[in-house]
Amino acid sequence: MNWSRLLRRSGAAPSPMPMPVRVGYVGPSASRMLEYDQHLLWVIVLLLAFGLVMVYSATVAIPEDPHFANWSQFHFFWRDMAAIALGLVVGWVAFQFPMSFWQRWAPQLFLLSLCGLFAVLIPLVGKGVNGSRRWIPLGVLNFQPSELVKLTIVLYAADFIVRKQEVKQLFTKAFAPMAGALAVIGLLLLAEPDMGAFLVIASVAMVILFLGGVNGRMFAALTVVVIGAFVLMIVLSPWRRDRIFAYLNPWSQSNSQGSGYQLAHALIAVGRGHWFGVGLGGSVEKLHYLPEPQTDFLLAIIGEELGFAGVIVLIAVFAWLTKRAFDIGRQALAADRMFSALVAQGVGVLIGGQAFINIGVNLGLLPTKGLTLPLLSYGGSATLISLTALALLLRVDYENRVLMRGGHV
């Protein structure tokens, strides 16, 4: 039956049919909460807050060490708080720029970060600590350029894939430039030395190339180049060989008192935690048995105080964060935004990969790498770059939501 004809005969005007809308669109007065991922933002905030608590717990006994008798028990807490505040400000600024801006400036930012790797090797510019030259003193903090390279390699590799879409199957135009860039980074980090940073940078670049559809043979060749670089790093570095052997047997007398000392005490800390830990603040290993527990081995203190349950929850949170980054990347790809998609997934690999390596090191599953636990461990440069990377992830998600609601970015 034709209802509109019947209504016209009866003199009643037909009511307009509802217009189809995009999912999530509720009109011009829509809440701004729809423009960003609240769950992702709250996970980041909770990780930062939890990290502050654990850094304080891990360093509460620092004044008892005669070498640090003048330091307050809040020394690392306040410094970590300052790094988080700076990271939030820088992240907020980075969020204001569209992804088109980051794509346009990706090569220049990458070259600038490489200049930072050169600068740390210059006498009176770079700062050496425990035999490594990785930092540039900036007064309020010691900046680590290798952390910046972790972010700029994400931007550069994503932009590289987008620019090379037509020739990404050609060896000279697709494989050689990226392999050369990784070789330069590897040589500079070998001079510092910083094998852990190179592992993360190479992994992120290779994953982005793989997701971007680089030829399988070229990807395999790049894998061989990266593995060769790692072998070269180990062969040319006696102390790094000692770390590898110490990882294989940390309980031997020579290793437990030498290169494997930190790992041995990390395993003791995790073992003491059992299922539910000894309680927050109850760690024994942080009482000057485990060196510098607030950085690379913070997870060992978490395992001791919160037990297996705490570690599993933390692993689940990082797994969710990584999955969310890949989901955001897939949404961007569905909107034909290749650069944004690769950046989002690259950030997921950057955060999730570092967490995986750090957790593996603390549990004795991987050799010691000198990588912090993202968003939790004490480390100004690492916190700053992690928050900036996550701000770009939120920016990609924001632009996805705007486009889904019919807007423009």
16-66 residue pLDDT tens: 444 333 434 444 444 444 577 899 999 999 999 999 999 999 999 888 877
pLDDT of residue 171: 60
Buried b (16+ CB within 10 A) or exposed e, 125-155: ebbeeeeebbbbeeeebebbbbbbbbbbbbb
Q: State yes or no: pLDDT of 15 exceeds 80.
A: no
First vs last C-alpha separation in the chain: 46
Q: Specify the 3-state DSSP secondary structure of 408.
A: coil
- pTM of the entire predicted model: 0.87
Contact 307, 274 (CB under 8 A): yes
d(CA 120, CA 143): 10
Cβ-in-10-Å burial (0-12, 13-18, 19+) of 2 comes to: exposed
- CB environment 267-302: b (16+ within 10 A), e (fewer): bebbebbeeebbeeeebebbeeebeebbbbbbbbbb
pLDDT at 222: 73
- What is the torsional sign of CA 390, 391, 397, 400? negative
**Is pLDDT at 10 greater than 70 in this prediction?**
no
Q: What is the mean pLDDT of residues 268-291?
A: 92
pLDDT class for 97, splitting at 50, 70, 90? very high
Q: Average pLDDT, stretch 197-225?
A: 81
pLDDT of residue 169: 58
Q: Which range, 119-123, 141-145, 391-395, is most confident? A: 391-395
pLDDT over 50 at 108, yes or no:
yes
Confidence of residue 223 (pLDDT cuts 50, 70, 90): confident
Q: What are phi and psi of 328, to 5 degrees?
A: -60, -40
Would you call 25 exposed, middle or buried from its count of C-beta atoms within 10 A (0-12, 13-18, 19+)?
Answer: middle
- CA 158 – CA 337 distance, rounded (Å): 11
Q: Which helix (H) or strand (E) holds 60?
A: none
d(C-alpha 156, C-alpha 114), whole Å:
12
- Encoding tokens for residue 216? 């399988």
- β-pair partners for 127: 135
Alpha carbon dihedral 350, 356, 359, 360, in 10-degree steps, equals -130
Phi then psi dihedrals of residue 137, to 5 deg: -65, 125
pLDDT score recorded for residue 292: 86
What integer is the mean pLDDT of 117-132?
79
Q: The tokens of 99 are what?
A: 């992804």
DSSP 63: G
pLDDT of the residue at 210: 83
- Region 283-287: mean pLDDT is 92
Q: Is the pLDDT of residue 105 over 70?
A: yes
| 229-274: pLDDT as tens digits | 777 777 776 767 777 777 777 777 777 777 778 888 999 999 999 9
Query: Tokens 């180990």 — which residue?
Result: 234
Give the per-residue pLDDT at 394.
Answer: 96
Give the chain's mean pLDDT: 84
Q: Report the length, in residues, of the chain.
A: 409
H-type alpha helices, 22-140: 38-59, 75-95, 99-119
| Stronger pLDDT, 45 or 218, i.e. the higher one | 45
Beta strands in 53-195 (DSSP E): 127-129, 132-137, 142-143
What confidence category does residue 327 fall into, taking pLDDT thresholds of 50, 70 and 90? very high
Computed from CA positions of residues 125, 130, 134, 135, in that sequence, does the dihedral angle turn out positive or negative? negative
State the pLDDT at residue 168: 56
Which residues, 6 or more positions from 127, have their beta carbon under 8 angstroms from its beta carbon?
120, 133, 134, 135, 136, 137, 142
Q: Alpha helix (H) ranges present in 291-379? A: 298-334, 338-362
Predicted confidence (pLDDT) at residue 173 exceeds the cutoff of 80: no
With a CB cutoff of 8 Å and minimum separation 6, the contacts of 58 are: 76, 283, 286, 293, 294, 298, 301
pLDDT of residue 195: 79
The DSSP 8-state label assigned to residue 126 in this structure reads S
Confidence (pLDDT) at 172: 63
DSSP 386: H
Q: How confident is the model at residue 220 (pLDDT cuts 50, 70, 90)?
A: confident
Helical spans, DSSP H, in 192-260: 195-211, 216-235, 238-248, 253-256
Task: Look at residue 111 and tell me whether its pLDDT is greater than 80.
Answer: yes
Mean pLDDT within 362-376: 88
Spatial separation of the C-alpha atoms in residues 126 and 119, rounded to whole Å? 6
Q: Give CA 121 to chain center in angstroms.
A: 24
What is the distance between the alpha carbons of residues 266 and 324, in angstroms, rounded to a whole number? 30
